[in-house]
Structure formats: C-alpha cells, structure tokens
Chain A
C-alpha cells in the first residue's frame, strides 16, 4: 500500500514541515521548475505556503449500484491523496480504474460512499464555483456562441452583464481565440472548442481546475500547443490543477507530480515527483524525462495487465 504511505507522507510534511518548506525554498512543490525565469527561489510566483493542502482526499471510496445487478460495483476505494495549493498534479491509470469517478467526486457532482473530500479543509457537498471542470468531451452549449458559452460560466456567479462580457472576451483572448467570439461551437474546430471550454472554466476564476483528458481527442500539434498554453495560464494564475490523462508523456510533461492509480477498484499506487533542472529546449528529449516516463510506464504496465485479467473474470 504504497499509496497510503505516499499520501501519508505528504500530509505529514504539510503539517510538520510547512514552515520549513516555505523557508527552504520550494522543497516539495518545486514550483518554479516550469518556468526557467522563475527558478530563482526569490520568485514571487508563489505567495502562499507552497505545500498547503488544497484538496484533501481521505480514504475515499465510491460504490455504484448498477441496474440489473444486486452486486454493488466498487469503482474506487481507499483513495488517499493530498493536492497542494497551486500544484499541477497529473493523474494516470488504466482505463476504467475510476479516474473520472474521482474527478466527479472532487467536483461534487457525485458524493463518495466512503471517506471524505476536503477543499481548504471543508468537506465538499456539491458542485461549487471554487472548482472548474473541463470535461473530456467539449461540453459547450451548441446554441450559444463561443463568447456566450464563456459568459455562461459567469451567470451563476451574478456577475453584472457588462463585466461578464468583458471577462469572457479577456479569457477568449487568453486561449488565443480573439476574433472567434461569435462562432457557434459547430463552427469551431475540436481544438478551438476545447479552448473555449478551458476559457470558460478559467473565466469564473476557480481556485481549482479539474481536467479530464481534455486533450485526448486532439492531434499531436494542437495538443502540444494547448499544453503550452495551459502551463502558461497555470503559471500566471497559480491555480491548483488536477489533470487526468492517458498519455504518460503528457503526465510527465505537465505534472509536478504524477499520481498513478491501480486498476479497478482504483486507489493511488504511487506518486512520482517530477523535477527537471531546466525546462529550456526540448524537454521531451531530456534523458531525465525518459527516466520519469519509463518509471510511470512500468508502474502502469502491471496495472493494465491486472485490469485486463480482472475484466475477463468479471464477464
């Protein structure tokens, strides 16, 4: 149960070494590594204590009751994970291990059957505007233009109309879609739609960004440029990001930490700290990148095999 050990470690560090981390210059969070300019410990990028826990997942389990079967179906169980304030955490795991389920739980769209999820120390009891989700499919309203879709995220927040428009424009700009304000989703490419969805999640300024394989359906070039954009936005806004992906490269490239899940019922198998001396140049060609990549890959390989075996026995 390395999962528990890792989760526990992190928690302990938070409580005991919080101050030390602050003084010792980003020991655990390694925040500045993504932007070479910010590598110096004096960087003003992280005003808050870096290893403060933002999302606390405590022994969380989710059991589904499926129709036509009285045997309950355990999607995730005993998940322990702390996501730190301002951290970029990527989550990988075999298909069907419960990643989306976990994200739904954090989002408050469903309630856990066991354990609890804390945001800033308070238990989650429903969706909230402190968390923004980007779903794997582009969940845009087809009858609204790009701009109106972004405004949609601000309507529940009672932002005045004028300001809604301004903010929507600003974020559309941010994701590089200025000039596409009045296009309907069906008039945009897949990558553009996903950018609108990201802009919408950013526009209402949530502390936490939950992303479920947002770039999975895109071609490699679009994906890479969106990855860059996401990192840029993240560096600018200091949001806490939980990013689910199937791509090991993507996980290692984006994440400060990569959480690897076991096959179903999913739990956290291991958390890999990713650290590079420099992100200059082609990071993916860096031998260190390859090592991380291989490590995560071997962790996953066993789980995927186990998952296959399990699925065969279920049928």
Chain B
C-alpha cells in the first residue's frame, strides 16, 4: 500500500522538466521504489534482516507428492517469494484481521456498518461460488489491462520520441502541458458523452490516466541519460540508431518502469471511479451496488478483492521490472 501511495509523489516530482542532477535523481527514485517493495521481493539474497530466506531460496525442488497439494503450493510459493519478510509482516496483518473481527463483535463498532471479517469472508466466498465475483473481477481486469496496455504501447514510444528529438518535444510540449494538468477525472464526462457508457469510454479513461506517468517518466528517462555515456558511445563509433538502442534505451529503462508502475496503480484507481459512476459490471460497480442495496458484507468483499487486485498488479510489474534491471545495485 505504501508503494501505491508514495510512488505518485516521485512521478509528479519528476515532471517533464527533468532535474539537472540526473543520475542521482534516478538512483534516488529507484532506491526509494525498491525499498518500498512489499513482502515477496526476491531482489538479492543479501538482505540481512531475513536470515531464513537464503535457505528457502536455495531449497531444492523437493518431490512433495505425499503432502497435500495446497501445502506443496505454499512451499513452492515460499521458495520463490521469500518467507522472511512475509513472516515479518504477518503480525501486522494478523493484528488488523483480529481487530476487524473483534471490534464489531464486542460492539465497539456497529456490526451493521462494519461486519466482522469472518462474515465478510463468507460473503466473499459466496460471491465466488455464485460466479458474480469472477464476473466483476474479469470485467475490471479486462478494462484496466486494456487501457494500461494501450498506454504502455503508445506512451513509451511517444515518450522516447519526445525525449530524443528536440523538435518533437518543442512541437508537442505546449499541448502536453495543457493536457497533463487536466485531471482525467474531469474528462470522464467528456469520454462518456462522446463514447457512451460502454466499455470504450472506460478503457479510454484508463488509457488517458495511465499515459501521463508513463509518458513523463519515459521523457525524463531519455533526457537524463548520463551525457558521458553518450559521448563515450559516440567516440566508440556508434551511429545514432545503435546509440539509441544500446545506450539511451537501457539507461532509461528503470525510469520508464517507475512510470509504468505508477500507471499500473492508477489504472485500477481511476477504473473504480469510472465503474462507480456508471457501469453494469466491475468491482467498482459491485462495491457501489452492494452499498446501495445495503449488502454490506458484499461491499467489503468487493473492497478486499480490489486491494488484492492492486497488490497483484504491482507485484507483477515489479517482477517484470526486476527482470529488466538485474544490473542495478539494489
């Protein structure tokens, strides 16, 4: 959660006018985002706080046919995901769950408005069995992934072009500056007006919201490439194309990924908003609808699912990011 909250600040601070002290800015951003990594982050086996993890990481693929499948699955997960931080974080989560369970039961909180966790989980299970949950989940996932995917596919190349070609930047900057400062939320009515209440308006809405962090980070990633690296590559006889492919792009990847992760977080955020405003399906709709019809446990079940979705998305992006930047210090 800290991840999602803290990250946009970095993105906003970077802006499209990159800070002069480029490498530091970049590393700072990076370290910051890296330290925020939630529990299952097998970055390097060097983390001193988790003495258990190396063994877990190195444990051989044991044939666990005898054990129940669920346990085997957990063990495999643990090996990949690193139990150390998970164990460290578990107490807080357990405490939260216990509080949620106890407060309504003791009457400290009105159980009508905040039902105990067990009830919420039961409602969640019912929704799952009934198939509604999957339906809403799928609706939300398809929308946010489509919008997000479009944003990655379009904003990254555009950002590269803006960062690399001065004329493109000069031409587009004023317009981008205007749009950048126009909240996506403010534009939702426009999207609905033009595209109707169906899928397109939501996807475009998500796409729009996701594009900015990706675009701005890509631009700044390209612009803040260490000039010395460029000079040295030129002195080694690299033409503009190989220079771009072999120096600019790899150097910008970490910053681009910061933008992509920010976009991932906002894709879910803005989608929920859209689904609450007008939709027939989706997790946002589920929460809103449950509240309207006073199915309070269902509402919380929806909220939990949303959190899980956000967490999952972020983890996925982190894994991809790590794959692309194994060379980093942290």
Chain A residues near B (Cβ < 8 Å): 107-109, 127-129, 131-133, 135, 137, 139, 141-144, 152-153, 155-157, 184, 186, 200, 204
Contacts and interface: CB of A to CB of B under 8 A. Distances in A.
Contacts of A143: 250-251, 325, 327
Given A143-B250, A143-B325, A144-B327, A156 B236 contact: yes
Nearest to A185: B327
Contact of A155 (B226, B229, B246, B327): B246
Contacts of A204: 236
8 contacts: A127-B235, A127-B236, A128-B237, A139-B226, A155-B242, A156-B236, A186-B329, A200-B236
B29 to A, nearest CB: 15
Given A139-B231, A144-B327, 9 more contacts: A127-B237, A135-B231, A137-B228, A141-B251, A143-B325, A156-B237, A156-B242, A157-B237, A184-B327
A144 B233 CA distance: 13
B181 interface: no
Given A127-B237, A155-B242, A155-B246, A139 B327 contact: no
Interface in B232-276: 232-239, 242, 246-247, 250-251
Which residue among B232, B325, B327 has the maximum number of chain A CB atoms within 10 Å of its CB?
A: B232
Contacts of A133: 232, 235
Contact of A142 (B234, B237, B239, B327): B327
A155 B242 CA distance: 10
A152 B250 contact: no
B238 to A, nearest CB: 5
Given A143-B250, A143-B325, A109 B231 contact: yes
B242 A127 contact: no
A108 B237 CA distance: 11
A127 B231 CA distance: 10
A135 B232 contact: yes
A141 B247 contact: yes
Interface of B: 226, 228-229, 231-239, 242, 246-247, 250-251, 325, 327, 329
Nearest to A139: B232
Nearest to A107: B235
A142 B226 CA distance: 11
A214 to B, nearest CB: 13
Contacts of A142: 327
Which residue among A153, A157, A186 has the maximum number of chain B CB atoms within 10 Å of its CB?
A: A153
Contacts of B250: 141, 143
A148 to B, nearest CB: 10
Contacts of A139: 226, 228-229, 231-232
A107 B231 CA distance: 10
A16 B200 CA distance: 82
Contacts of B228: 135, 137, 139
Contact of B237 (A129, A137, A184): A129
A112 B232 CA distance: 19
Nearest to A156: B237
A126 to B, nearest CB: 9
Contacts of B325: 143
The 6 lowest CB-CB distance pairs between A and B, nearest first, are: A139-B232, A156-B237, A143-B327, A133-B235, A129-B237, A139-B228
Nearest to A186: B329
A54 B234 CA distance: 22
B236 A152 contact: yes
A135 B247 CA distance: 17
A129 B236 contact: yes
Nearest to B327: A143
B242 to A, nearest CB: 7
Contacts of A131: 235
Given A137-B228, A139-B228, A142-B327, A152 B246 contact: yes
Nearest to B231: A109
Contacts of B247: 141
B85 to A, nearest CB: 24
A132 B237 CA distance: 10
A247 B106 CA distance: 78
Contacts of B226: 139
Nearest to B23: A142
Nearest to B239: A156
B17 to A, nearest CB: 15
A141 B249 CA distance: 12
A141 B250 CA distance: 9
Contacts of B327: 142-144, 184, 186
A220 B71 CA distance: 59
Nearest to A197: B232
B276 to A, nearest CB: 43
A141 B237 CA distance: 15
B19 to A, nearest CB: 18
A143 B229 CA distance: 12
Contacts of A107: 235
A141 B236 contact: no
B77 to A, nearest CB: 29
Contacts of A184: 327
Contacts of B237: 127-129, 156-157
B236 A153 contact: yes
